[in-house]
Amino acid sequence: MKNAFYAQSGGVTAVINASACGVIETARKHKGKIGKVYAGRNGIIGALTEDLIDTSKESAKAIAALRHTPSGAFGSCRYKLKGIEEHRAQYERLIEVFKAHNIGYFFYNGGGDSADTCLKVSQLSESMGYPIVAVHVPKTVDNDLPITDNCPGFGSVAKYIAVSTLEATFDVASMAKTSTKVFVLEVMGRHAGWIAAAGGMAATKDMDLPILILFPEIAFDQKKFLSRVEAMVKKHGYCTVVVSEGVKGADGKFLSDQGLRDAFGHAQLGGVAPVIASIVKENLGLKYHWGVADYLQRAARHIASKSDVAQAYATGKAAVELALKGRNSVMPAIKRVSDKPYKWTIEVAELKNVANKEKFMPRDFITKDGFGITEKCRKYLAPLIQGEDYPPYKNGLPQYVRLKNVGVKKKLKQFKI
């Protein structure tokens, strides 16, 4: 009977731990077929350095609490394994560690890069005579994985951004007469505008709100932008601009890299919101405020989407069930069965079709003028932000769990990464 290895990869989300919960609880239900679940401390680095966490030391209650705890309970990392040709030693080290700890299942919870790593581990382990069943668990707030209808992690960010945009827009609306007229909210999404699109969900047929979206897929046109802001402020008295961190100018450069400098001439990093706000101020003379949601958006488990939590858990569970059926180099993907009522099921995607592919917003999800979302986009997004899944509270605070994260005794020599 083989043990399993589970690791979290890349930026964490409000529900990646719900996937961990799905993996561990399902493995525990199949105790006759699967041994212990070892987690990598700080992701794949934990495997390379043989820094494994024995999840069997955690109580059932603690594991259940992962379902409502944001962030990565075992630590994650931004560390991409390179190609096998360049860094064969790293892959061989992984297999060596897995062999030393009798690991036969590899569950990797991440985005496109980790899907690729997962595939390579499976292939190399086969060729090294120690075959490992490798299953990828999808996770990314960016919603940019192919095949799966949506990615666990995205729905909750989308809900947070939709709710926050609605609330901030109400705020501006009430202050606009004498104060702020334009509110700029910066959201994540370096390449794809899915998260920014969610800001558009704050406006509905019953709730006409002046919201303008800047997508990374659409080159920033300052003149057009200013004229739209001006028109909205003229009509409504105010407007909200939801801007993706990845918005680029016609020159292909990020707007956030416009060269902000402090008093000493040092370059300032990041923040497209202040750049947009000052464009508004310089050209239209309108009073503005700006916010940058940053980690708040992807950690906001307190306002997680119920469908997102359910899907994060379900993909974790499905990964173990697939592995036990001997399915290798695959990823459980979400298939949308119907929009209204929202129904979905889990299908199986081959990793070779998932790895290293990015899914952008289809052009017909963005309105012709480039500043809004279409009905088609609304139809896609609506079910993903559906339902609330509140964590338990004590003394006014969510009761998030911190695991003991007991290490497994090392058996091998050190390995320098």
Q: Which residues are catalytic?
A: 142
Rounded least distance, CB 212 to its own copies, Å: 16
Interaction of residue 170 with its own copies, rule CB under 8 A = yes
Q: Which is nearer to its own copies, 61 or 266 (CB)?
A: 266
Helix (H) or strand (E) run with residue 330 in it: strand 330-338
* 348: its two tokens: 């199986």
Count CB atoms within 10 A of the CB of residue 83: 10
Interaction of residue 255 with its own copies, rule CB under 8 A = no
Sign of CA dihedral 365, 333, 127, 37: positive
Rounded least distance, CB 322 to its own copies, Å: 26
Rounded least distance, CB 285 to its own copies, Å: 13
Nearest by Cα to 140 from 64, 185, 192: 192
Interaction of residue 177 with its own copies, rule CB under 8 A = yes
Interaction of residue 178 with its own copies, rule CB under 8 A = yes
Rounded least distance, CB 223 to its own copies, Å: 17
Which of 4, 18, 62, 77: binder of its own copies (CB under 8 A)? Answer: 77
Distance of CA 292 to the CA centre of its chain: 17
Interaction of residue 260 with its own copies, rule CB under 8 A = yes
Rounded least distance, CB 314 to its own copies, Å: 19
Q: Which 265-304 residues touch its own copies, going by CB under 8 A?
A: 266, 268-271, 273-275, 277-278, 281-282, 289-296, 298-303
| Per-residue interface string for the shown chain with its own copies, residues 299-318, x marking contact by CB under 8 A | xxxxx-x-------------
Which of 2, 79, 284, 353: binder of its own copies (CB under 8 A)? Answer: 79
Q: Which is nearer to its own copies, 132 or 241 (CB)?
A: 241
Rounded least distance, CB 251 to its own copies, Å: 13
Instruction: Please count the residues of this chain forming the interface with its own copies, following the rule CB under 8 A.
Output: 88
The C-alpha atoms of residue 196 and residue 187 are separated, in whole angstroms, by: 6
Interaction of residue 373 with its own copies, rule CB under 8 A = no
* 38: its two tokens: 């070892």
Long-range pairs, 232-236, Cβ under 8 A, ≥24: 233/181, 233/182, 233/284, 233/286, 235/210, 236/173, 236/209, 236/210
Rounded least distance, CB 367 to its own copies, Å: 20
Q: Which 377-416 residues touch its own copies, going by CB under 8 A?
A: 382, 385-388, 390, 393, 395-398, 400, 402
Interaction of residue 259 with its own copies, rule CB under 8 A = yes
Q: Which 331-350 residues touch its own copies, going by CB under 8 A?
A: none
Nearest by Cα to 14 from 58, 94, 70: 70
Q: Which 190-209 residues touch its own copies, going by CB under 8 A?
A: 201-202, 204, 207
Query: Residue 152: CB partners within 8 Å, gap ≥ 6?
Result: 13, 15, 16, 18, 19, 137, 138, 139, 308, 311, 312, 315, 334
The C-alpha atoms of residue 20 and residue 319 are separated, in whole angstroms, by: 10
Q: Please, is 410 exposed, middle or buried when counting C-beta atoms within 10 Å of its C-beta (0-12, 13-18, 19+)?
A: middle
3-class DSSP state of 106: strand
Q: Which is nearer to its own copies, 179 or 222 (CB)?
A: 179
Contact (CB, 8 A) for 220 and 256: no
DSSP codes of every residue in 175-234: HTTTS--EEEEEE--SS--HHHHHHGGG-BTTB---EEEE-TTS-B-HHHHHHHHHHHHH
Interaction of residue 375 with its own copies, rule CB under 8 A = no
Contact (CB, 8 A) for 217 and 366: yes
Q: What phi and psi values does residue 159 have, to the nearest 5 degrees? A: -65, -45
| Per-residue interface string for the shown chain with its own copies, residues 17-56, x marking contact by CB under 8 A | -------------------------xx-x-----------
Q: Which 91-150 residues touch its own copies, going by CB under 8 A?
A: none
Q: Which is nearer to its own copies, 129 or 263 (CB)?
A: 263
Q: Which is nearer to its own copies, 207 or 406 (CB)?
A: 207
Interaction of residue 59 with its own copies, rule CB under 8 A = no
Query: Residue 229: CB partners within 8 Å, gap ≥ 6?
Result: 182, 212, 239, 241, 280, 284, 286
Interaction of residue 250 with its own copies, rule CB under 8 A = no
Q: Which is nearer to its own copies, 342 or 360 (CB)?
A: 342
